[in-house]
Amino acid sequence: MGRAWAAAVGVCLLLQAGCNSPEAAFHFNAVYAHKQSGVTKSQAKNVKEILIAQFGTPDEPAIPALPDLDVSTVISLDRLKMSAGPVERTDDTAPRRGLYREHCAHCHGVTGDGRGPTARFLNPYPRDYRRGTFKFKSTPVGGRPTHADLKRILVDGIPGTAMPSFKLLAADELESLIQYVKYLAIRGEVERSYILEIDAELEEEDLLLNVPGEDAEQVAEQVEVIQDITSMVLSRWANAAGQATEVPAHPVDDDKIASITRGRELFFGTTANCVKCHGDTALGDGQTTDYDEWTKEIDPTKPHLAAEYVALGAFSPRNIRPRNLRQGVYRGGRRPVDIYWRIKNGIEGTPMPAAPATLGSDDIWHLVDYVRSLPYEALSQARTSGPKFQRERN
Amino acid sequence: MTTPLTPQKPPLRATISSMRRASTYYLLLAALLVMLGGCGRGSSVAPKAEMDIAEAMRAALTVESGEDDSSAAVEQADSTGFATLKGRFLLDGSPPKMPLLPVKGDDVAICAPGGAPVFSNAIVVGKDGGLANVLLYVTSDIPDNWLHEADVATATATVDFDQKQCIFLSRVFAMRSTQTLKILNSDPIGHNTNITPKQRATPFNQTIGANSFALYTPGGEERAPFPVSCSIHPWMKAWMITRGNPYFAVTDKDGYFEIPRVPSGVELEFRVWHELPAYIESATLSGVPVKWPKGRMKISLEKDATVDMNVSLDAGLFN
């Protein structure tokens, strides 16, 4: 009996080891391909091969060559190497490798799909980088995070979630990991675009890149399409630095109470509408039936469709809750400037919208002041608030 | 005193232990399957990539793309002038029943006045079975000099997109990627408009105060329609497309459409789309069954002609 169990455990361990064997591979985005529906098995294989040609493998990364854009200004292959590969520490003089698999992959997955072995037990789920969508950044919706944004996330972590702080890593290690996140995101975005391209343009028997193949003219055209998509994705990352939203100075007045009062009016009013989601008491219990953009892609409101995606590896859909603003835990950072960016630009990939463009920077600062005062406001004060009646009269 | 047990039955202990043994094997088998399943995930969907093919591709992709002679070499036919494409889409059969929308929350007084039920408008059928919200758009490359001056003039115009009683007034909306969208809110409550393009247009998610508006500039062309929603009222839904050329139309409430000033004398590829089937792949055009793979419809119009299309679509496509 005991021996049978030992054998069972042994076999399991062996197989597990097989899973983590050295030839780690990037997974194909089968969920997105299913969403676009028009991708055949041989087209999927073709996409995998093109991606290896451009981006290499988890052990041996590469960066794509482009005629019109110097890719090394966005990601440097030399920097990536420290994060790529299996965890390895032979001796102190050899260059280190495998940082990503050591620190990140068990949550974010080798592919950066947010599906590492511990991921399904976490709430929120770890980020799937492959959409190129990041939440806590200084750039507006549609912009990629800046280098500084990613660095801050790595140094501070994301309070209130499983994402830890990596403050203790050396500067060059952090630098390498930031680049590796960009690398995985870019690779994932390019893959999604190839899937869209196939779905929109190709017949079932056609490939995106017919290599090895005879028809040089066809290949030249296909190479152009591939390079065009790749440089579209890369240029978004190259442009991020210039897109950070400016933060004008806080209006100079000593009257903090007046600013908080104005912020409170806005919070409950029909221009800023914060109350609709964050709720009458700001406990995050207003509109709670929506989903984030990652989840919306798997048709969460249609359980029979969602089940098909889950069978392909997607995690079960969960509603996203607006933040409970009485806890004083800010995932994107607690500095006033962080909260300014969250309110001004919204939180990309989530229902949290950008503030209306009609609100000037002073009003955004009033909202920041009110939000920051909420953890100290008595609950009873909020419920009987005057502005609520104003809202109903409208 | 010992009463023999029935010979066929093994002693109780033995039964239990053999059950245990069996269950161990089942467990082992189950564990094996689970582990194998775990390993296979992700790789089972497509055959394994071949490294030598990837190497060959890498070589093909690193070749300096020299002078852009390939596109210059292909001499394109030139347009001869303009024509009009118009017509009507009819639904053949009865439309599927539209679900009731979950209109809830503290805005019901405005979103569902008098508590009236609100149904999805994913399918709208008008007079005599005319089908609304079918989208047609040209996907061929259109050189700038083919455009009529009336269309050049509106390239950067501002177009309106409105919402009232928590419904987007256009269920399907097409615009040029160089135009500006004025997103109006005609309700006395706040909305937020969440626009989620797939590839080249910029995403957008901004709060729009009561009776106010916001401006959106897509800045890029999309190949297929993408969803528009409101996170405060998650039942609100619309579809949008941004195009680099002005040749598109959405059928009106009775199924009619008209695209004026379409370049003539050249073959153009249109896509035909409706949100429920997505690309419309089969139809009956003036009584003749036609196939439009991925919604592709190719057509060449004569100068100054007005071509009238009568399309009928089987209701089965919309289930």
A82 neighbors A109 (Cβ within 8 angstroms): no
Residue whose C-alpha is closest to residue B269's, from B293, B287, B252 = B293
Residue of A38, A141, A224 lying closest to B203 (CB–CB):
A141
Window 231-270 of B: residues touching A by CB (8 A cutoff) are 231-234
- Omega before residue A212 within 30° of 0, cis: yes
Asked if A297 has any chain B CB less than 8 Å from its own CB, the reply is: no
CA-nearest residue to A291 within chain B is B231
SS3 of residue B125 by DSSP? strand
A273/B224 Cα distance (integer angstroms): 32
A contacts of B17 (beta carbons < 8 Å): 1
Provide the number of CB pairs (under 8 Å) joining chain A to chain B: 207
The answer to whether A52 contacts B51, with C-beta atoms less than 8 Å apart, is: yes
The answer to whether A67 contacts B196, with C-beta atoms less than 8 Å apart, is: no
Predicted model pTM: 0.89
A68/A317 Cα distance (integer angstroms): 40
Residue B111 forms part of a structural domain: yes
Crossing angle between the packed helical segments A2-19 and B12-40, to the nearest 10 degrees: 0
Q: What is the pLDDT of residues B17-53, one digit of tens each?
A: 444 555 555 555 555 444 444 443 444 456 888 999 9
DSSP state of B221: -
Residue B4 forms part of a structural domain: no
Domain interval for residue B119: 84-318
Least confident among A43-57, A262-276, B72-86, B298-312:
B72-86
Phi, psi torsion values for B191, nearest 5 degrees:
-130, 170
Q: What is the pLDDT along chain A (394 residues), one digit of tens a residue?
A: 455 555 555 444 444 444 445 579 999 999 999 998 879 999 999 999 999 999 999 999 999 999 988 999 999 999 999 999 998 766 666 668 899 999 999 999 999 999 999 999 999 999 999 999 999 999 999 999 999 999 999 999 999 999 999 999 999 999 999 999 999 999 999 999 999 999 999 999 999 999 988 899 999 999 999 999 999 999 999 999 999 999 999 987 778 999 999 999 999 999 999 999 999 999 999 999 999 999 999 999 999 999 999 999 999 999 999 999 999 999 999 999 999 999 999 999 999 999 999 999 999 999 999 999 999 988 765 544 444 333 333 3
B190 neighbors A271 (Cβ within 8 angstroms): yes
SS3 of residue B280 by DSSP? coil
**Which amino acid, one-letter code, is at A114?**
G
B contacts of A38 (beta carbons < 8 Å): 294
A contacts of B41 (beta carbons < 8 Å): 27, 313
- Domain holding B244: CATH number? 2.60.40.420
Residue whose C-alpha is closest to residue A195's, from B223, B13, B254, B27 = B223
The answer to whether A348 contacts B205, with C-beta atoms less than 8 Å apart, is: yes
Crossing angle between the packed helical segments A256-268 and A386-393, to the nearest 10 degrees: 40
Please provide the average confidence, as pLDDT, over all residues in chain B: 87
pLDDT above 80 for B172:
yes
Give the minimum alpha-carbon distance from B38 to chain A in angstroms, rounded to a whole number. 8
> How many Cα atoms are found within 13 Å in the side-chain-facing hemisphere of B305?
13
DSSP for A135-190? SS-SSPTTSPPPHHHHHHHHHH--TTSS----TTS-HHHHHHHHHHHHHHHHHHHH
Q: Which residues contact B78 (CB under 8 A, 6 or more apart)?
A: B265, B266
Asked if B124 has any chain A CB less than 8 Å from its own CB, the reply is: no
Least confident among A193-197, A207-211, B1-5, B278-282:
B1-5
Give the minimum alpha-carbon distance from B223 to chain A in angstroms, rounded to a whole number. 7
The answer to whether A196 contacts B199, with C-beta atoms less than 8 Å apart, is: yes
A contacts of B105 (beta carbons < 8 Å): 276, 286-287
Residue of B194, B224, B233 lying closest to A353 (CB–CB):
B194
Report pLDDT for B44: 46
B174 neighbors B224 (Cβ within 8 angstroms): no
B187/B164 Cα distance (integer angstroms): 5
Q: What is the pLDDT of residues B263-273, one digit of tens each?
A: 999 999 999 99
Question: Which tokens go with A103?
Answer: 């620190």
CA-nearest residue to B230 within chain A is A351
Asked if B224 has any chain A CB less than 8 Å from its own CB, the reply is: yes
The answer to whether B209 contacts A273, with C-beta atoms less than 8 Å apart, is: yes
Give the minimum alpha-carbon distance from B35 to chain A in angstroms, rounded to a whole number. 6
Strand ordering across the sheet containing B288-291: B256-264, B81-92, B306-314, B282-285, B288-291
DSSP state of B131: B
Phi, psi torsion values for A208, nearest 5 degrees:
-75, -35
Q: What is chain B's length?
A: 319
The answer to whether B224 contacts A356, with C-beta atoms less than 8 Å apart, is: no
Residue B53 forms part of a structural domain: no
Report pLDDT for B45: 57
CA distances from B30 to A199, A312, A362 (A): 37, 20, 62
**Which amino acid, one-letter code, is at B61?**
L
Asked if B82 has any chain A CB less than 8 Å from its own CB, the reply is: no
Report pLDDT for A295: 97
Residue B126 forms part of a structural domain: yes
For chain A, list the domains and their CATH numbers. 23-243 (no CATH), 256-287+322-376 (1.10.760.10)
Q: How many domains does chain B have?
A: 1
B contacts of A348 (beta carbons < 8 Å): 203, 205
> Could you tell me if residue A376 is left (phi over 0), alpha (psi between -120 and 50 degrees) or otherwise beta?
alpha
Residue whose C-alpha is closest to residue B55's, from A50, A226, A222 = A50
Residue B216 forms part of a structural domain: yes
The answer to whether B207 contacts A356, with C-beta atoms less than 8 Å apart, is: yes
Q: Burial level of B128, CB count in 10 A (0-12/13-18/19+)? A: exposed
The ipTM estimated for the assembled molecules is: 0.89
Report pLDDT for B112: 94
Residue whose C-alpha is closest to residue A48's, from A104, A97, A100, A111 = A111
Asked if B1 has any chain A CB less than 8 Å from its own CB, the reply is: no
B209/B163 Cα distance (integer angstroms): 12
Report pLDDT for B61: 93
Give the minimum alpha-carbon distance from B252 to chain A in angstroms, rounded to a whole number. 25
Report pLDDT for B23: 54
The average pLDDT across B235-251 equals: 97
Asked if B51 has any chain A CB less than 8 Å from its own CB, the reply is: yes
A298/A35 Cα distance (integer angstroms): 7
pLDDT above 50 for B3:
no
Window 131-150 of A: residues touching B by CB (8 A cutoff) are 141-142
Window 337-376 of A: residues touching B by CB (8 A cutoff) are 346, 348, 351-358
Residue B244 forms part of a structural domain: yes
Report CA A87 to chain centroid distance, whole Å. 24
Asked if A15 has any chain B CB less than 8 Å from its own CB, the reply is: yes
Asked if B310 has any chain A CB less than 8 Å from its own CB, the reply is: no
Most A CBs within 10 A among B64, B205, B319, hence the mutation to make, goes to: B205
A119 neighbors A111 (Cβ within 8 angstroms): no
A232/B175 Cα distance (integer angstroms): 22
Asked if B49 has any chain A CB less than 8 Å from its own CB, the reply is: yes
A294 neighbors A188 (Cβ within 8 angstroms): no
CA-nearest residue to A210 within chain B is B57
Asked if B29 has any chain A CB less than 8 Å from its own CB, the reply is: no
Asked if B319 has any chain A CB less than 8 Å from its own CB, the reply is: no
B282 neighbors B315 (Cβ within 8 angstroms): no
Residue of A38, A196, A273 lying closest to B190 (CB–CB):
A273
Which residue has 């329609």 as its token pair? B225
The answer to whether A351 contacts B49, with C-beta atoms less than 8 Å apart, is: no
Residue whose C-alpha is closest to residue A234's, from A188, A195, A291 = A188
Residue of B61, B209, B231 lying closest to A290 (CB–CB):
B231
The answer to whether A227 contacts B61, with C-beta atoms less than 8 Å apart, is: yes
The average pLDDT across B203-215 equals: 97
B contacts of A65 (beta carbons < 8 Å): 61-62
Residue B21 forms part of a structural domain: no
Report CA A111 to chain centroid distance, whole Å. 13
A164/A183 Cα distance (integer angstroms): 21
